[in-house]
């Protein structure tokens, strides 16, 4: 990269602990991801991920859709914040709200999400966190693992960019399975973001 070339600016959206946020930040430091985390947006004021961002001197924004009278208004307000910071890409990482349609349209093919199961299985509204792992165990699946996909206007629906498979073990609990999947999430997501930014996926 040339000295004066600007690195793509990513906004990471969170609602919780932010371990994926941390893996993305770490990847920008060691060259796995040539981008800058320029903003962390949280739907919750108390999300620990906000502390992680503060520790790294990354700007944060708590954005509550409910503050606005319509999804359109929320979308306009959010877009304004993103544009003011010249955000190029959005990475959803444990973000529990649905992005307003205007944001999805404005960032078409430039928004990714990580999900903790092998989509298209175990996705959709209400399928997050431990609910996903409980469903995998209840179904008796022998494998699970994270998926990274392009975000469209429906939960967990867009094109799957990459997945990692891990075994489901006979004595797994939702917690032990979550741990195995999360370890792979941290490896997968930064690498997929790098490929997305480099234009290495055929998104047509
Ligand atoms: C991850 O399991 C991710 O796949 C899902 O939400 C969880 C977020 O975890 N979408 P963290 O906040 O990144 O630790």
55-85 pLDDT per residue, tens: 999 999 999 999 999 999 999 999 999 999 9
> Which among 14, 18, 19, 91 is the best mutation to test ligand 1's pocket, defined by most ligand atoms within 8 Å of the CB?
19
| DSSP count for the chain of H helices, then E strands | 6, 9
The pLDDT of residue 12 is 99
pTM of the model: 0.96
The pLDDT of residue 1 is 56
Work out the burial of residue 162: count CB atoms within 10 Å of its CB; fewer than 13 is exposed, 13-18 middle, 19 or more buried: middle
Residues linked to residue 162 through DSSP beta bridges, in sequence order: 148
The pLDDT of residue 75 is 97
The pLDDT of residue 4 is 63
For ligand 1, atom 5: residue with the closest CA = 94
Distance 150 CA to ligand 1 centre (A): 16
Q: Is 143 helix (H, G, I), strand (E, B) or coil?
A: strand
Nearest ligand 1 atom, CA 95: 10
Q: Does the pLDDT of residue 111 top 60, yes or no? A: yes
Task: Determine which helix (DSSP H) or strand (DSSP E) holds 147, and give its type and residue range.
Answer: strand 147-150
Alpha helices in the chain (DSSP H): 19-29, 48-55, 71-84, 101-106, 129-139, 174-197
Q: Does the pLDDT of residue 47 top 80, yes or no? A: yes
Q: Helix 174-197 and helix 129-139: axis angle, to 10°?
A: 110
For this structure, is 115 an active site residue? yes
> Which among 93, 130, 177 is the best mutation to test ligand 1's pocket, defined by most ligand atoms within 8 Å of the CB?
93
- Cα 34 from Cα 100, distance rounded (Å): 27
Q: Which of 91, 107, 86, 120 is nearest to 192 (CA)?
A: 91
For ligand 1, atom 14: residue with the closest CA = 19
For ligand 1, atom 8: residue with the closest CA = 94
């Amino acid at each position: 990269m040339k000295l004066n070339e600007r690195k793509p600016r990513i906004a990471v959206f969170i609602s919780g602990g932010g371990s994926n946020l941390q893996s993305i930040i770490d990847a920008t430091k060691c060259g796995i991801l040539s981008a800058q985390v320029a903003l962390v947006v949280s739907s919750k004021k108390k999300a620990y991920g906000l502390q992680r961002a503060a520790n790294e001197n990354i700007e944060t924004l708590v954005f509550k859709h409910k503050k606005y009278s319509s999804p359109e208004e929320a979308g306009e307000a959010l877009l304004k914040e993103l544009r003011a910071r010249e955000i190029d890409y959005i990475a959803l990482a444990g973000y529990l709200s649905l992005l307003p349609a205007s944001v999805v349209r404005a960032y078409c093919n430039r928004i990714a999400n990580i999900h903790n199961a092998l989509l298209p299985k175990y996705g959709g509204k209400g399928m997050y966190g431990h609910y996903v792992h409980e469903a995998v165990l209840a179904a008796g699946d022998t494998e699970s693992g994270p998926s990274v996909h392009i975000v469209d206007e429906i939960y967990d629906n867009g094109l799957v960019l990459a997945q990692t498979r891990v075994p489901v073990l006979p004595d797994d609990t939702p917690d032990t399975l979550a741990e195995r999947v999360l370890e792979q999430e941290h490896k997968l997501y930064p690498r997929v973001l790098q490929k997305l930014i480099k234009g290495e996926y055929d998104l047509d």
